[in-house]
A and B are shown apart, each in its own frame.
Chain A
């Protein structure tokens, strides 16, 4: 990671806006998909793919690079946008999302999409995979990180906590989990559906190094990820406070846009708000 300066942060913010526009275009073209959780994670994904992680399409089959697992698989659109703009496949292909014979499945598929390391979609499974990958890197004596982006809703899955135990038991300090704490899930507020708080205390009790950030503030995201990289001895989790639907006024904090495509009028407004044209 380069030293952070205002110019670089501005560039990354513009990149995040570009990824958000892709998300809206893709979901509008598909007529279905999950905009809310892609938009909340856009700044984190931008920081990871365009600043923090050492990766490139040429090295996608190499273990000697940083790795990424999207445990909240329904945020596939923001993942695909980041991969396409990183050069893993053509940006023009993004609008084939969810179409028959497309390489871009509704949820990530390792077998189909260049750059996708793991198939996800059934929630709660990504962190275990990140742990296994981190172990494999350790066995190969590769000093590399595995980043795992989780949703807050999937914290209700028991497997998350099995994986949390496993990572601290094995001192997997090359695992960095990020919880996209946007506070909403399909049926409503996480605290109404299945209360998660005190979430940070839970992770602490499981032996993790816990960090916090505003996941929609590029400065904070970069600084916190940098701090996470330095921590030795235990795995790190970053609880990232985010706004679901961030960047599109009528999608922000609106659970209705967890898994719904915008209509024509909404699409045009969303694109305008994100600094693009419909």
Chain B
């Protein structure tokens, strides 16, 4: 188990060493987002904007106009909600080189409750032209995604959780923006997971195997641009698909996958997601069970959708 945030901090320090144009901003959450690692290593290129996320996004844009590659971090709920207009107008529309890397997304924030649990951030960022949207599944993938983004021109949003997650990828794997990875092969059902739901998909695949169902597990770490090729092939090979996300079912990844498949290869689908309700306080794992975001629901959805294709 390892946190994504820790790997973000490590990646920033590595980038700071390699490149003089890397600048990092935070809004009074540097200890939580782990940008503090960069602050310690390169204090002259770190700016704390205080609790002023809108100004942070505008400042990030200005630094990018001035030739810098900027990483701006805070909690996901503030990065995408509080500062939405600044992200849209000052970062995405002028197509600037600003990477918004946000932590504490989804309900796994835990005790802070619904005010801090965004389940609409992917929908918001995905709807903005020019924006790349990435949701790494674990620590190592976070590290590789951040390095890859530094070499990629343009605005991007990276979603990280608060809690430690199982390590399911390796730093030997290549991270390619826009490319989904197949973690387990199978031809009976495709389980398409993002972020913290990828590990439950793997557990579900194990359980399904015992029932004679061979599941293909896809880690859809880039939400935009969507890897339609891998999704379409999975739909054709497996004949049914389950999506799993710690995000609202409205305008989430399930919606995107359904739309992409409807145009190319209409396929029976089930979506595991937050059911358009606000969360509440609790422990991360309790909340995931409470809101139906565990391998149990993925297994049930897989069985249901396999029956539907018959």
**Chain A residues packing against B (C-beta within 8 Å):** 63, 67, 69, 109-111, 117-122, 125-137, 139-140, 158-159, 162-163, 165-166, 169-170
Contact = CB atoms under 8 A, between A and B. Distances in A.
A235 B86 CA distance: 23
Given A111-B95, A118-B94, A163-B55, A129 B61 contact: yes
Contacts of A162: 49-50, 52, 54-55
A200 B47 CA distance: 27
Given A118-B61, A159-B86, A63 B66 contact: yes
Given A111-B93, A159-B54, A136 B85 contact: no
A119 B90 contact: yes
B67 A125 contact: no
B208 to A, nearest CB: 48
Given A125-B86, A131-B59, A166-B52, A136 B67 contact: yes
Interface size classification for chain B: 20 to 34
Contacts of A118: 61-62, 65, 90, 94
15 contacts: A109-B94, A125-B89, A127-B58, A128-B54, A128-B58, A129-B59, A131-B62, A132-B58, A135-B63, A136-B65, A139-B45, A140-B67, A159-B52, A162-B55, A166-B50
A140 B47 contact: no
A132 B44 contact: no
Contacts of B47: 135, 170
B293 interface: no
Contacts of B61: 118, 128-129, 132
A47 to B, nearest CB: 23
Contacts of A132: 58-66, 70
Given A63-B66, A128-B54, A165-B50, 10 more contacts: A109-B93, A110-B65, A120-B89, A122-B89, A125-B54, A126-B58, A127-B58, A139-B45, A139-B66, A159-B58
Main secondary structure of the interface of A (DSSP, over half): helix
A127 B57 CA distance: 12
B54 A133 contact: no
B94 A119 contact: yes
B54 A129 contact: no
Nearest to B88: A122
Contacts of A110: 65, 93-95
Given A128-B55, A166-B52, A166-B55, A133 B93 contact: no
B167 interface: no
Contacts of A135: 23, 47, 59, 62-63, 66
B68 interface: yes
Nearest to A119: B94
A158 B52 CA distance: 10
A159 B82 CA distance: 11
Contact of A136 (B44, B58, B68): B68
Nearest to A122: B89
Contact of B58 (A63, A117, A163): A163
Contacts of A131: 55, 58-59, 62
A127 B58 CA distance: 8
Contacts of B68: 136, 139
A119 B55 contact: no
Nearest to A130: B62
Contacts of B85: 122, 125
A81 to B, nearest CB: 21
Interface in B84-142: 85-86, 88-90, 93-95
A228 B185 CA distance: 66
A110 B93 CA distance: 8
B86 A117 contact: no
A125 B93 CA distance: 13
Contacts of B65: 67, 110, 117-118, 129, 132-133, 136
Contact of B63 (A111, A133, A163, A169): A133
A166 B49 contact: yes
A240 to B, nearest CB: 22
Contacts of B62: 69, 118, 128-136
A125 B90 contact: yes
B114 to A, nearest CB: 24
A68 B85 CA distance: 22
Contacts of A137: 66
Contacts of A136: 23, 62-63, 65-68
Nearest to B25: A132
A117 B68 CA distance: 14
A165 B52 contact: yes
A82 B65 CA distance: 20
A110 B154 CA distance: 14
Nearest to B95: A111
Contacts of A119: 89-90, 93-94
From A128, A158, A162, residue with most partner B Cβ within 10 Å: A128
